[in-house]
Amino acid sequence: MAMYAFKGINPSGKSVNGLKDAESPKLLRQLLRKDGVLITSFELSKGGKGGNNPHSKSGAKKKSGGLGRDVDVGAMFGGASKIEIANLTRQMATLIKAGIPLAETLGALVEQISNVRMKTAMGEVRTMVNEGSTLADSLARHPRMFDELYVSMVRAGEVAGNLDEVLTRLADFLEAAQKLKSKIMGAMIYPIVMLVVGVGIMTVLMVKVIPEITQMFTQSGKTLPLNTRMLIATSKFFGNYILWILIGTVLAIVGFVQWSRSKDGRPIWDRFVLRLPVLGELVRTINVGRFARTLGTMLESGVPMLRSLETARQIMGNVILQRAVEDAKKAVTEGDSLASTLKRSGHFPATMIHMTAVGERAGQLEQMLQRVAQTYESEVDTKLSRFTALLEPMMLVVMGGSVAFIVFSILQPIMDLGQLSGPK
């Protein structure tokens, strides 16, 4: 085991240095990362093994190929997640705030990234910055990791000279967006599992169980009740055409998805969703929160209004609301206020419009939009709970009613046969 002398940045942004035992540079970084220390440089201590082979900032060259050849096999099959990008952004902000030059900051980050694709991308970013490009232009070369919002905010921070503050704000934004997404996905897991299990159980009943139970009814020659005949006919249909039913279901789902994403179908579907009693309000609340959070964050970072509106429009997932923001963008270009144009669309809540108007009059639109985002992101929890509370009993009623119909349709002819064979 070797002894390494290192320099780094602790969670509070202060420079630290010391000695640490580790079997390799990679393990050294992992150990210090657990302590919250971000390494900026290291070398083998003179008292350690291989003291005549010091390690530079780029890692050891004689230790299994060095850090540059470390491969994260799991990360090779996917890109960078939002959480990884948020962590990278916060680390970058911490290093820049500590006074470390941008090129050195990028070098330190590249050495500690375990995701291969992100490591490659940031290595290219570091090279471009060293060659004289701006950080925003370098990041723009990798749009799959760093979208228009990210690049625009970084560019504004570079122009204003407050890149560390902008990166901190951007990291907060990414973490908040991921938190909201996790809430939505978590709320939908239980209903989806119930639906899949319910469909699976009903399929097994129709294809395997019911034909065996109802076989004795058909052999008796008695006239069966209407509901029992309907059950037997349905079971035979599923048994004979189950493969075609599955293929048709898959094709129908694929066709619907393609239609709902098409130029003509998406506006129809998105408008229909907004008109749904509970789901529509939930979708509207989620999109309004995203819009306000994105627009407020970008304006606080110094991004111009029109570019901020365009990026905030793209963040929204409903094309009807996107069109309303596009109209607002055109009206703002002509000198109209943002609040009045959003109000004319009829798609934004009155509370959001009122708070936006107050922010415009007071010259604090950015702060007011952040409050709007906090308000509607808090409402998402309530409306998600309301939606799942309504969806779960509906699914239970449907599944319970289906099972009750099957049981009754099977028991009724059995009881009738028992009555016919009983004493007169």
pLDDT by residue (tens digit) across 57-69? 333 333 333 333 3
At 15 the pLDDT is 75
Nearest partner of 272 among 263, 283, 288, judged by Cα: 283
Q: Sorting pLDDT into bands at 50, 70 and 90, what band is 269? A: very high
Could you give the 3-state DSSP secondary structure of residue 41? strand
pLDDT at 20 over 80: no
CB 9 within 8 A of CB 94: yes
pLDDT of residue 82: 83
In sequence order, the β-bridge partners of residue 395 are: none
Residue 1 has pLDDT above 80, yes or no: no
Look up the CATH superfamily of 75-176: Type II secretion system (T2SS), domain F (1.20.81.30)
Q: Is 269 in a helix, a strand, or coil?
A: helix
Name the fold adopted by 279-386. Receptor-associated Protein (1.20.81)
pLDDT above 90 covers what percent of the chain?
A: 11
Structure tokens of 320? 């009807």
Comma-separated ranges of CATH 1.20.81.30 domains in the chain: 75-176, 279-386
Give 38's DSSP letter.
E
What is the pLDDT, as a whole number, of residue 63? 37
The pLDDT of 173-202, averaged and rounded, is: 83
